[in-house]
Amino acid sequence: MTIRAAATSGAMAEDVAGGLPARVRGELGYVIDVRLPGMVHAVLVRSPAPAGRVVAVETAAALAVPGVLRVVVAADLDALGLADHSFGTIIPDQPILARDRVRHVGEPVAAVVATTSEAAAAGAAAVRVRIRPSVPLLDPSAALAPGAALVHRDRPGNIIGRFEFRSGDMAAAERATVFRHRASYRSPAAQQVTLEPQVVVARWRGTRLEVWATTQSPDRVAAELARVFGLSPSAVRLRVPPLGGGFGAKNHAKLEPLVAALAALVGRPVRLALRRDEEFVTTTKHAAVVDIESGIDLDGRLTFRRATLTWDGGAYAHSSTAVLRAGGLVVCGPYRVMAAEVLSVAAYTHRPPAGSFRGLGANQAMWAGERQVDVLAHLAGLDPLEFRRRNVVTIGDRLPTGEQAGDPHWHEILDEVDRWRAAQPTGAPRGIALAMKHTMTPSRSEAEVRIDDHGRVTVRSNLVDMGQGLPGVLARIAAEALEVPEDRVSVASPDTARNGFDSTTSSSRGTAAGAAAVRAAAVDLRRRQARGGRAVGRGVAVNEATVDPETGMRVSSSEWHQGAVAATIDLDVPTGRIRIPSILGVAWAGRVVSSIGARLQNEGGLILGLGPTLFEALEFPAGVPTATDLLGYRIPSIHDLPSVVETRALEATDPSTASPAGIGESVVPAVAPAVGNALAAAGVSLLDLPLDPERVLRAIRGAPARTPHRSARAATVRSFAGGRTNDRRADDGRRAWRFTLDGSTVTIRADPLAPLQVLLAERLRIRSVRGACGVGACGACTVLLDDRPVRSCLTPICRVAGRRVTTSRGLPDDDAIRAAVIAAGAAQCGYCIPGAVLALHGAEPAALLDPETTRASADAALAGNLCRCGTYARLIDATERLAADRG
């Protein structure tokens, strides 16, 4: 396998303020590491039914479990005098706890608070929820049909939101049309799968609320908490340590109101950390159907596009209104059209709520739009790249929405794709696709820059570090602006009590908005210093929905993220399995602040995009998710990495004068259509995702598409239902186990079959041993047991007695593998990386250090270590560097 160097330029790879060594060593603290005096633990009891009336919640058995402090149901919240029992950043439609009605499988019905997480789990298992089920609405089209039963009585038509626009003269466009094409393209739901689960810790200090949460939107969530609890905004303090991945899953309020309420009811700090199965019913990617029709004239120029996008929003709105708008804005692509008509609607259904997913709505829209562009190119008799060249907007053009195209770089992007195509072997089916995505507009970012008497600089911002390299970017910008060495700059974590406001860390706005705010703060600081004032500066970056003077319409996005993907495929016709020998991701960056950061973002976007393209899909037969763990729902592993991964982050002619553009999502929406177009070039044209072997083979053989399988995982329902007999008492059966941990002898009292991971992480508080799946699927909990990597989540403590356990902490300071990983910059959020480093220690040294075999050796060693950020190529790069140095 060859991973070629990215053609990025700009800053050096060294990470100074981003905490790369700490991430690789596993020393970074996440929300799950927050421990407060007197803190207790909550476990939720959830609905086993997708729709129905709550008949009873029986709590007596749970209250008898030792350690259980309280079992909270919706009625208990009345004692808090809440301003609102429902929450939702955009539409407050979600009850903190279901009271009389449940609207999706997994909806929280009760919460058990106990002194330990084990006791809380035992208590939750003993709660019995009785629900009188009703017929669930599971199809958004049926939900939107006149006369459909209502998911929410006060939401007529089951409509979460709609967005529509019309531009141009459709009649004239129709008259100019020579060829037309219409089809419906489907994208299923998916799960974001951040390896770090959603975690919230809350405590009250009098009437002041303190929260630590895994959120991408600290200020929004704090504001929502203030609204729900009837507090002034200044009475809520929300802090966000680095996140173990976000990908949209952690946008908007989800668990924070409930945990704050529990803390108020028990009068102690409360922590809630979701299990993996709970993640699957907390938020998902929207399933969507995009019905799209387009026309072209004799010259192969687009004449019109009509599109209707129907989104399955699930039971609660979350960010559906943003998603449906984001998809509607870009479904016509970056193309000139004479006329466009777009309607985008999200429906309530009885499925778990759908929310943001990296690529926010553009994924589903571009799957349809860019797949159809290739069909139109074929109708026009044009090469797909030439067809796009002919139709993309350039400076001065208007987008299909009717607004100015802004700062388009589509021809430069297509030039890169063209060069890549020319280098590919002839004969391999290939496909290309463009990706266009809006950024949140309007939005606001505030930053503060301060210099102390020793010349140390602190940057404060509420932009969230979730693996995208933001601290490093902000530090570099500050260092440049203040002309100080980067190692003098540190970046503080978000804290709504101390830092300025920030709209959200999403829609790839962090780099652009953060850089602008920090630069402005640095200028302000210098100005104040020149006047003899304090060594502190504040800056604001605002992007506004300005009004187009010609049309009078508001600009929908202050900046358009621009990207492209090109891929070759290798189709195994008899089985329908696709392999991707080569993939290219191109993103317009304007200015690359960190070359390794840009590469990681682009590579990560490509790899994440391959999951929903090739195999990720979450279905809800009878309202129950088809998978609720990482053995049933798989995300791309290192073995799914294309043989050759190339990325380009394109810069302006003079990058020093350009503003950096966000590139976190620029390639993601183009992955599926590029692969789909390559597959079509191989003769298999599909409208539905994912392009899994069965779907492909059915198309090859002309077999009808598979009807959805109706089975539901009974275990899922059981696990949510509670009411299980539990003969266990939390502190029974424990005995002392002695073993050597990182060179020291430790003794720990535990149940003999208690998983080592839980004991290391929760009892001994070893940060590098992360629980992310609990089923041995992800490798984040990897430790060395007598020098061999094992999954500590599947290792009972009784198997460890008398043996040596080595965590990342126990590796020597000069460990060569870890040093190589750091040198390669191979970490994004970092949640999984310590496990990956230890997994590499299981490789045969001779094979790992031989330049001829190091790649295969690393591939084999990392086969079971998942990285949702998509750092695989850099990990391979690390081993290749190591082999080159030692070989």
Interface with another protein includes 810 (CB under 8 A)?
no
Rounded-to-integer distance, Cα 35 and Cα 177, Å: 65
Stretch that binds another protein, among 296-304, 391-399, 488-496, 770-778 (CB under 8 A): 770-778
| Parallel, antiparallel or unpaired: strands 94-95 and 86-87 | antiparallel
Neighbours of 511 (CB within 10 A): 30
Residue 729 has φ and ψ, to the nearest 5°, of -115, 135
Task: Supply the minimum distance, in Å, between the C-beta of residue 621 and another protein.
Answer: 7
Stretch that binds another protein, among 97-105, 298-306, 751-759, 809-817 (CB under 8 A): 751-759
Grouping H, G, I as helix, E, B as strand and the rest as coil, residue 686 is coil
Interface with another protein includes 716 (CB under 8 A)?
yes
Residue (150 or 631) nearer to another protein, CB: 631
- Residues 567-586: x/- map of binding to another protein (CB under 8 A)? -------xxxx---------
Residue (94 or 865) nearer to another protein, CB: 865
Residue (224 or 859) nearer to another protein, CB: 859
Grouping H, G, I as helix, E, B as strand and the rest as coil, residue 154 is coil
Identify the residue whose tokens are 């039963």. 149
Q: In 325-422, where do the E strands start and end?
A: 339-348, 354-355
Interface with another protein includes 793 (CB under 8 A)?
yes
SS3 track for 698-710: HHHHCCCCCCCCC
Q: Give the residue from 312, 466, 288 showing the smallest Cα distance to 363.
A: 288
Q: Choose which of 865, 870, 879, 883 interacts with another protein (CB under 8 A).
A: 865
Interface with another protein includes 729 (CB under 8 A)?
yes
Interface with another protein includes 638 (CB under 8 A)?
yes
Interface with another protein includes 107 (CB under 8 A)?
no
- Binders of another protein among residues 304 to 343 (CB under 8 A) are none
Residue (323 or 618) nearer to another protein, CB: 618
Identify the residue whose tokens are 């003969």. 727
- Binders of another protein among residues 43 to 82 (CB under 8 A) are 43
Interface with another protein includes 780 (CB under 8 A)?
no
Q: Are the beta carbons of 640 and 405 closer than 8 angstroms?
A: no
Q: Choose which of 45, 522, 766, 839 interacts with another protein (CB under 8 A).
A: 839
Q: Choose which of 604, 636, 722, 830 interacts with another protein (CB under 8 A).
A: 636
Residue (53 or 639) nearer to another protein, CB: 639
Interface with another protein includes 715 (CB under 8 A)?
yes
Interface with another protein includes 755 (CB under 8 A)?
yes
Interface with another protein includes 10 (CB under 8 A)?
no
What residues pair up with 239 in beta bridges, in sequence order?
A: 212, 495
CA distances from 188 to 166, 311, 433, 687, 851 (A): 27, 10, 20, 12, 41
| Residues whose CB falls within 8 Å of the CB of residue 538, separated by 6 or more in sequence, listed in order | 446, 447, 448, 449, 500, 520, 521, 524
Interface with another protein includes 785 (CB under 8 A)?
yes
Interface with another protein includes 622 (CB under 8 A)?
no
Interface with another protein includes 1 (CB under 8 A)?
no
How many residues bind another protein (CB under 8 A)? The answer is: 88
Residue (138 or 661) nearer to another protein, CB: 138
Q: Choose which of 294, 757, 806, 871 interacts with another protein (CB under 8 A).
A: 757
Residues counted in the chain = 887
Task: Supply the minimum distance, in Å, between the C-beta of residue 57 and another protein.
Answer: 19
Task: Supply the minimum distance, in Å, between the C-beta of residue 286 and another protein.
Answer: 20
Interface with another protein includes 651 (CB under 8 A)?
no
- Residues 666-705: x/- map of binding to another protein (CB under 8 A)? --------------------------xxx--xx--x-x--
SS3 track for 744-783: EEEEEEECCCCEHHHHHHHHCCCCCCCCCCCCCCCCCCEE
- Binders of another protein among residues 361 to 420 (CB under 8 A) are none
HSE toward the beta carbon, residue 832, CA cutoff 13 A: 31
Interface with another protein includes 275 (CB under 8 A)?
yes
Rounded-to-integer distance, Cα 733 and Cα 759, Å: 15
Residue (463 or 614) nearer to another protein, CB: 614
Residue (184 or 643) nearer to another protein, CB: 643
Task: Supply the minimum distance, in Å, between the C-beta of residue 142 and another protein.
Answer: 21
| Parallel, antiparallel or unpaired: strands 788-791 and 782-785 | antiparallel
SS3 track for 39-88: CEEEEEEECCCCCEEEEEEECHHHHCCCCEEEEEEHHHHHHHCCCCCEEC
- Binders of another protein among residues 514 to 553 (CB under 8 A) are none
The DSSP H or E segment spanning 415 is helix 410-423
- Binders of another protein among residues 196 to 255 (CB under 8 A) are 197
Q: Choose which of 66, 621, 723, 851 interacts with another protein (CB under 8 A).
A: 621
| Residues whose CB falls within 8 Å of the CB of residue 880, separated by 6 or more in sequence, listed in order | 851, 854, 855
Sign of CA dihedral 766, 768, 769, 771: positive
Interface with another protein includes 796 (CB under 8 A)?
yes
Residue (305 or 841) nearer to another protein, CB: 841
Interface with another protein includes 741 (CB under 8 A)?
no
Task: Supply the minimum distance, in Å, between the C-beta of residue 788 and another protein.
Answer: 5
Q: Give the residue from 135, 133, 164 showing the smallest Cα distance to 150.
A: 135
